[in-house]
Structure 1
Amino acid sequence: MEETYDIVIVGAGVSGISAAYRVQTMLPDKSFVVLEKREQMGGTWDIFKFPGVRSDTDLIGYGFPFAPWREEHLIANGGEILDYIRQTAATHNIDKKIRFKHAVSKAEWFSDDKKWKLTVSTDDGPLSLHARYVMWASGFFDHAQGFPAVIPGIENFTGTVIHPQFWPEDLDYTDKRVVIIGSGATAVTLLPAMVESAAHVTMLQRSPSFVLTVPTREPENQFMERYLPAWLSSRLIRWKHLIIARLLVEVCLRFPNFARNLMRKVTTKLLPPHIPHDPHFEPRYNMWEQRVCLTPDGEFFKALHTKKASIVTDTIKTVSPTGIELDSGNRLDADIIVTATGLKIQLFGGAPVIVDGMPVQLHEKYVWNGTMLQDLPNTSLLIGYTAFFWTPGADMMGRLAIRLIQMMDQKGVQSVTPRVDKTKELKPTPLINLSSTYFKASAAYMPTSGDRGPWRRRVGYFEDWWKVKYGNLTEELVFE
């Protein structure tokens, strides 16, 4: 079977639902379909089932711009976010455009036809779809496996070893000794969620992270919602959160010593007397050189006060059958080890991409305006912001792709391709400006940004908004 669409969107998580809304409202005359390899929509929020799974940013900024988050609490759990995604898709009839259990296994571009051919695996056998334009909303990580951190001797452990990405729904950790290896957002979420039932929960970290307390309710938001029309209050509240988030990041990056000293004062006040600030909360990096972990209403610090939770900063010598031996000589007894060591980065949903018979090597390509890849026609990656809110960034890249399609229609052309101007020097820079271990590990696989023009790394929401609305999108772009 073969079918042809103007636009194919790959993935039905927040990025895919956002892109589908933009396509059907801004390109109403275009045919499109959403392909989702899982049995239901939701992406990350349908995959992760670990205790306490929640957003690590507020839902005002993380939510869809066209479907404002209406609940009073700003930090939502995974189930609430999943319901929100599904309700948004149903409200706008996007759910009728989604084909579930349709996994793209290969993407091929044919210049003669000016179309993509997507080989799709389904329960009924392989399917070929042709698309004039493909939007990849398949996320940023591998759904099949987590980051393969090397933990010496882990094979010796006789208890239960779990990666949060693959949490068993029937796991009973009541009265168990749990060691969480990691210091990121997942570990900071897991510890307070597990401490009530477990005998003891220890967060074992090689290097500390910044942990910032955020409120789950903001009275000024409720005031605006009460006294202003819904269309106005939702816009004001959203812009407030976007602006404050941007200011916070800029202050931290521009004045790192000030930010570090302020965090030290705030964190020290929240810690129980038996847990010192150093070395457990003194990261080796400055704020927002890696993601800052958020804890709603200080739940992480409250868990540490119970004395059923502890934090250890050390390195692993080896894992024994009943616990973890540390390089300091100390030992952590454990019944369960949780490897919250990060995610495995992946683009295009892991599908090989081929242009006119030649496989594309992603690490050899530059990224044009944060969304298209050098020499790849008629395709966009819908990637969000990794330092803060994901959804606004992915939504902006979807809108940029739509503007390109509109330009193609105006020019009467069939393809648009980013091409590097060989007469101008272009130096590679990292696509993602974060120093987390699993981001560093993906460097050999990932495409890169450049140091000039449209190849520069994205700056933020407001710059992207201006670019999408008014920017010149023809620089080093070839229309055919």
Structure 2
Amino acid sequence: MSADITTPEHVDVIIVGAGLSGIGAAYRLQEQCPGKSYAILDAREAVGGTWDLFRYPGIRSDSDMYTLSFPFRPWTNRKSIADGQHIREYISDAADEFGIAEHIQFGHRVVSASWSSEDARWTVTSQVGESRIVQTASFLYLCSGYYNYDKGFQPEFPGLDSFDGQVVHPQFWPEDLDYAGKKVVVIGSGATAVTLIPSMADDVEHITMLQRSPTYITTLPAEDKLAQVMRTVLPAKLAHRAVRRKNAIVTIGFYQFCRRFPAAATKLLLGRVKRQLPDGADMQHFTPRYKPWDQRLCIVPNGDLFRAIRRGKASIVTDTITSFTPTGIDLDSGQHLDADIVVTATGLQVVAFGQLEIEVDGERVDPHEVYVYKGLMFSGVPNLAWCVGYTNASWTLRADLSSQYVCRYLNHLDAKGCAFGMPDPKGAAGQVRPILDLTSGYVMRVADILPQQGTSSPWTIRQNWLLDSYDMKRTDLDQDMVFTEKSQVSVPA
């Protein structure tokens, strides 16, 4: 049985998560709120978050590193599409360089948070080994993303128990998995699958990507040549800022092009794919049923996926599974795929608020009943923010804007003499839209548990970094907010 241990330490801000978002948030706090104390709680034993968890072959960024990296610490690696190890090292080095590492408490799995308006503080409970640690903070900032770290999405496959080979989920890749000379089937068509295929192709006998439906795939250079040139003529920070802005503009511009002119975008994307495939390749395997950017695009650096297909080491099959057999998978078309190893790259499990149980003044908060406010706070929930990145651009572009907003908000509280504030509890009543605007399976499966957004500002999430970066620095911090002065609360000494 767990024992509750209450620590006397109170901090101004508790940050949950020591990945890209958490380390970036800590830097902004130190920079813009130098008098505020903070602690970072992370369930794992190392910095990196997602980039420390995922260790499957070829794990890499699906955004360019000039926008995925921190704006305050230049990305100096030559690769624009970087592997997981270099990203993990970059995050860890940033934590050390800016003195953030000393604020991290590893092995703290935050399980619940309870707000008291009378005391104007959060009581945060973490599972640490067999014990439960209780800490308090004036503000709670959730920077752990929206993926379930404990399990990925695993559909029910008929006959799976009869399969004599090995079944692996990429989220929990065995360090000792030997796939040399084996027949491998990867189930899935998303970013993980298109990463695994070329990374394993040289070592396996053959690898097959089995998909129910295709995904839009585009090729980008692994290295940004313009960035290399700019580094030689500009100081590192200035070059980083210029490339970051250039890449963000290109990404947003292409997203807008896809949304406004889907037929032209489809022709462009499929034409690029066709030119990289062997003559006579069946384009049905690369032609999705949805419009570009209804789901995220998959990026393949230097066309590595297509090279594996051209060499005959990899193939793609579009079909549905009838049943697993002892030697592989039977498909609805009657085809049988032989397999020694099956990798279920079937997606991640999305969760709300990092799976925390949240209470406000003794009442449980149902995430689906609250409205998002300016992309990070929530109706009726005081002094809490949830860092969520863009769906159409790199995560860090929005994460950094969110962290800077939190700092402005904390300074605003002090300037007003207020203990806390919350977005209007009524939120965007009568205006209901999903918080994420994708039709991807991992989003649709959890639409009924995630917070909602409205149809007008400030109750919407806009997928446009250029407009957000302008608005976030000029936004009205009092808009649709309810504040409580320090004189109205009984804050413990």
The answer on 1:238 being equivalent to 2:237 is: no
Number of residue pairs matched by the alignment: 478
**Aligned AA for 1:394?**
A
Q: Which whole-Å CA distance do the structure 2 matches of 1:448 and 1:153 have between them? A: 38
Paired position in structure 2 for 1:24: 30
Q: Deviations over 1:14-69 (max 9, x none)?
A: 00000000001100001111111101110011000111111111101111111121
Paired position in structure 2 for 1:473: 477
Could you tell me which of 304, 307, 314 is aligned with 2:312?
A: 307
Structure 1 residue matching 2:285: 3-state secondary structure = coil
Q: Which whole-Å CA distance do the structure 2 matches of 1:447 and 1:148 have between them? A: 24
8 Å CA contact 1:426, 1:452 repeated in 2? no
Paired position in structure 2 for 1:427: 431
8 Å CA contact 2:352, 2:449 repeated in 1? no
Paired position in structure 2 for 1:334: 339
Paired position in structure 1 for 2:399: 394
Unaligned runs of 5+ in 1: none
8 Å CA contact 2:73, 2:237 repeated in 1? no
Shift of 1:71: 1.5
Structure 1 residue matching 2:453: 3-state secondary structure = coil
Shift of 1:91: 0.8
Structure 1 residue matching 2:137: 3-state secondary structure = strand
**Aligned AA for 1:461?**
W
Q: Which whole-Å CA distance do the structure 1 matches of 2:80 and 2:226 have between them? A: 13
Structure 1 segments, 4+ long, off by >6 Å, are none
Shift of 1:426: 3.1
1:32-51 alignment, distance < 5 Å: 32-51=38-57
Could you tell me which of 461, 466, 472 is aligned with 1:462?
A: 466
Shift of 1:224: 1.3
Q: Which whole-Å CA distance do the structure 2 matches of 1:231 and 1:337 have between them? A: 44
Paired position in structure 1 for 2:293: 288
Structure 2 residue matching 1:304: 3-state secondary structure = helix
**Aligned AA for 1:472?**
D
Shift of 1:274: 5.2
Q: Which whole-Å CA distance do the structure 1 matches of 2:425 and 2:266 have between them? A: 40
Q: Deviations over 1:198-250 (max 9, x none)?
A: 11100000010011000112322222111122232221111111111111111
The answer on 1:440 being equivalent to 2:450 is: no
Q: Which whole-Å CA distance do the structure 2 matches of 1:239 and 1:395 have between them? A: 14
8 Å CA contact 1:384, 1:395 repeated in 2? no
Shift of 1:72: 1.7
Q: Deviations over 1:412-442 (max 9, x none)?
A: 01111111558x7531111001111111001
Could you tell me which of 262, 265, 282 is aligned with 2:268?
A: 262
Q: Which whole-Å CA distance do the structure 2 matches of 1:320 and 1:88 have between them? A: 48
The answer on 1:60 being equivalent to 2:66 is: yes
Q: Which whole-Å CA distance do the structure 2 matches of 1:259 and 1:274 have between them? A: 22
Q: Deviations over 1:280-328 (max 9, x none)?
A: 0100111111010000000010010111210001111111121111111
Percent identical residues: 42
Paired position in structure 2 for 1:144: 150
Using the size of structure 1 for normalisation, the TM-score is: 0.97
Structure 2 residue matching 1:453: 3-state secondary structure = coil
Q: Which whole-Å CA distance do the structure 1 matches of 2:463 and 2:62 have between them? A: 21
Could you tell me which of 102, 115, 123 is aligned with 2:121?
A: 115
1:342-357 alignment, distance < 5 Å: 342-357=347-362
Q: Which whole-Å CA distance do the structure 2 matches of 1:375 and 1:166 have between them? A: 37
Change (3 A) 1:433 1:388: same
Could you tell me which of 408, 411, 415 is aligned with 2:416?
A: 411
Unaligned runs of 5+ in 2: 1-5, 485-493
Structure 1 residue matching 2:452: 3-state secondary structure = coil
RMSD: 1.3
Q: Which whole-Å CA distance do the structure 2 matches of 1:144 and 1:297 have between them? A: 33
Could you tell me which of 308, 319, 326 is aligned with 1:321?
A: 326
Q: Deviations over 1:83-132 (max 9, x none)?
A: 11111111111111111111111100111101000011223722111100
